[in-house]
Structure 1
Amino acid sequence: MRVLLLGSGGYIGRYVADHLLADPAVQLTELGRGDTADVRFDLSTGSPGALTRFLDAVHPGVVINCAGTTRGGARELTRHNTVAVATVCESLRRSGCGARLVQLGCSAEYGPSQPGSSTAEDAIPRPGGPYGVSKLAATELVLGSGLDAIVLRVFSPVGPGTPPGSPLGRLADTMRRAMQAGDHELRFPGLGAQRDFVDVRDVARAVHAASLSAAQGVVNIGTGRAVRMRDAAGVLARVAGFGGALHDVEGHPLRTVPHPSGPSGLGHSAGHGRGEHGPETPAGAVGYAYPDGCGSWQQADVRTARDRLGWRTRIGLEESLADIWMEAACRI
């Protein structure tokens, strides 16, 4: 199977490339802006005609688009996340390769969810910021393209290589600096949020499964369980050996030892299914504006991924956090 991977130099794209290269049945070509790509091409500025000629030459059976950006103003986000996808769709329509398109979307397209609920693919998207808007526009372009296409709405990816600008990446770096300085007090904003954290290596497996599947439309990729950031921070502190006090942005004290409700200590704040467990609202979360535009709660309904892709997560959050800390500790 010939696969063209767009955005192979990005956080998720790197793991998708590694996973595909491990499959002897896959012939992989990587296209991107970085020097490590087989072919350098900027989707945000390149012409559909040029990409069409490349598609006709390579003739892939599957095109996987992991390209995009999470940072910048509305114009930059639109250029890299929406215009780039318009270029991909137009090129595939013009090309004679007939390739299947696997597009990576994100949970920010949904926006805030009702606490305690699981968000299914038929939920009405209400993105709370320009990033979510730019990704939702890309999804609409794919769904309206008439192509053989699937959009994977990835919830909160974590694991090795987690970008330092992401919440858990920033938290690990903040903890590292606190330990270096001998600080015993650590303050961090947004620890009242509850998110569905999914390991980036499991996301790569989902992308591979989607490329082999006949499923179309939108499919959520997550664990189906929301975890409070304060609990993830507690596990990260234990993994790191940080014995100091953690406080949220409003000064609400947090336990550094996870609640003994499960093997990883991460189960007591998570909702399962549709509203089985409602969240507790921490004092520090009142009035806090979550930068991802997703409010205080997000949790995926992952039944479609299970039923249509045959995909389930394999890597637990504690392992993901240990890998995040290992990389942060290497900078000490």
Structure 2
Amino acid sequence: MRVLVTGAAGYVGYAVGRRLVAAGHEVDGLVRGPEAALPPRVRPVVADLLGPVALGTYDAVCHLAALTRVRESFADPLGFYATNVQGTVNLLRALRGGERVVYGSTAAVYGTPERQPIPEDEPPAPGNPYGASKLAAEQLVRFRARTGAIGAVVLRTFNVAGSVDGRGDPDRTRLIPKALAVAAGRAPHLEINGDGAAVREYLHVDDLATAYVRALDAASPGEERIYNVGSGTGASVAQVVDAVRAVTGRPVPALHKPPQPEPPVLVSDSAAIRRDLGWRPERSSLTEIIEGAWSALPAREG
């Protein structure tokens, strides 16, 4: 298939483009500038989804272009809705019809449910503009599929980590990159809310990319599906920090701050994608994730 990946130079987009090429697809990466770093054999298409765009003919689209930082979304809700919702409108308008669309969504659409692990039928209740904008875009893609114009698969992702091709997660607002930055001597300490007992799950970015390939094969015009994509294995903040210390052999000083209102556990139920698409995480042990992310860091101090 000829596939367009939006956000193809981003952390997840790069991994998805790489896996699509390996699966034999012809891949174009939509980027905002020609200098963007793309995987080998992914051709750049320069365009900005914040305005009307003209696209070539594609069999499928993996839509990953988005703003993703929860805290920033509170300060700039208009910007998040413009990028995540209007950008999706502009993309769908540019499609010619009949395409398979895999939309990259987030567990943030669920909010903080008591039911754990979280299944796909958990009623959405996003607690921040980021999650709300992604849910709105999800609904838009699904309603478009119901017209028969496209086939849609929505992938709701939990915490993604690890590296491919020496490219780790550059976002130091996330736990593993933050802890590795401390181990590398680039930050004096790691700030932890409360006692570090909050449990989250982590999925290797390459396992997520494989899910996109499977979802693309499963999409069919006029149909819509939603899948959680996660490891299903939780680890506390304290366990992640201990794993970073063990992998790097370096200290990770922690500064414990007052606890914040947050759910004690957020873990996915990914049984549906395992059953329907035969997908399984293969690289998502905490040790492998951290080892790859550590090796992807540029020259470290000390």
Shorter-chain TM band: 0.7 to 0.9
Q: 1:116-156 CA deviation, whole Å, 9 max, x = no partner?
A: x1111110111121111111111111111123101000110
Could you tell me how far 1:169 is from its partner in structure 2?
1.1
Structure 1 partner of 2:295: 326
Which residue does the alignment assign to 1:91? 94
Following the alignment from structure 2 to structure 1, what is the Cα–Cα distance between the partners of residues 252 and 141?
A: 48
Report SS of the residue matched to 1:15: helix
Question: Which residue of 2 is the match for residue 276 of structure 1?
Answer: none
Aligned twin of 1:166: 174
Residue 18 of structure 1 corresponds to: 18
- Could you say if the C-alpha distance between residues 244 and 299 of structure 1 is closer, same or farther in structure 2, counting changes exceeding 3 Å? closer
| Corresponding residue number in structure 1 for 2:65 | 67
Deviations 1:265-316 (A, max 9, x none): xxxxxxxxxxxxxxxxxxxx4xx145xxxx3321111111101111010011
* 1:29 aligned counterpart, secondary structure: strand
Stretch moving more, 209-218 or 156-165: 209-218
The secondary structure found in structure 1 opposite 2:246 is: helix
1:41 aligned partner: 47
How many corresponding residue pairs? 274
Question: CA offsets, 1:26-62, max 9 Å, x none?
Answer: 111111213236111111x221xx33xx2xxx32111
Counterpart residue number, 1:105? 105
1:132 corresponding residue in structure 2: 131
Within 1, Cα distance between the matches of 2:108 and 2:197? 18
> Normalised by the size of structure 1, how large is the TM-score?
0.77
Change (3 A) 1:192 1:248: farther
Which residue identity lines up with residue 42 of structure 1 in the other structure? D
- Distance change in 2, residues 1:289/1:326 (3 Å): farther
Query: Distance between the aligned counterparts of 2:216 and 2:111, measured in 1?
Result: 27
2:155 matches 1:155: no
Answer yes or no: is the 8 Å Cα contact 1:187–1:249 preserved in 2: no
Gaps (5+ residues) in structure 2? 37-42
Residue equivalent to 1:224: 232
Establish whether residue 209 from structure 1 lines up as the match of residue 214 from structure 2.
Answer: yes
Contact 2:101 2:219 in 1 (8 A): no
1:243-284 deviation line (CA, Å, top 9, x unaligned): 46545324xxxxxxxxxxxxxxxxxxxxxxxxxxxxxxxxxx
User: For 1:108, what is the secondary structure of its paired residue?
Assistant: helix
Tell me what 2:277 maps to: 309
Q: Which residue of 2 aligns with 1:273?
A: none
Q: Considering only CA atoms, is the larger Rg found in Structure 1 or Structure 2?
A: 1
Can you list the C-alpha shifts for 1:193-228, whole angstroms capped at 9, x where unaligned? 211210100000000010011473210000112211
Amino acid at match of 2:26: Q
Distance 1:90 1:106 in 2: 23
SS at match of 1:238: helix
Report SS of the residue matched to 1:8: coil
Amino acid at match of 2:274: R
For residues 243 and 68 of structure 1, the distance between their equivalents in structure 2, rounded to whole angstroms, comes to: 34
Unaligned runs of 5+ in 1: 251-284
Once the two structures are TM-superposed, the CA of residue 188 in structure 1 deviates from its matched residue by 1.8
Does structure 2 retain, via aligned residues, the 8 Å contact 1:89–1:141? no
Instruction: Quote the offset at 1:79 in angstroms.
Output: 1.3
Of all paired residues, the percent bearing the same amino acid is 28
Alignment partner, residue 77 of structure 1: 80
Give the CA deviation at 1:329: 6.2
Which SS does the other structure have where 1:144 is aligned? helix
Q: Is the 8 A contact 2:211 2:229 kept in 1?
A: yes
User: Structure 1 residues 59 and 224, CA, compared in 2 at 3 Å: closer, same or farther?
Assistant: same
Contact 2:6 2:62 in 1 (8 A): yes
Are the equivalent residues in 1 in contact too, given 2:111–2:126 (CA < 8 A)?
A: yes
1:298 maps to what in 2? 266
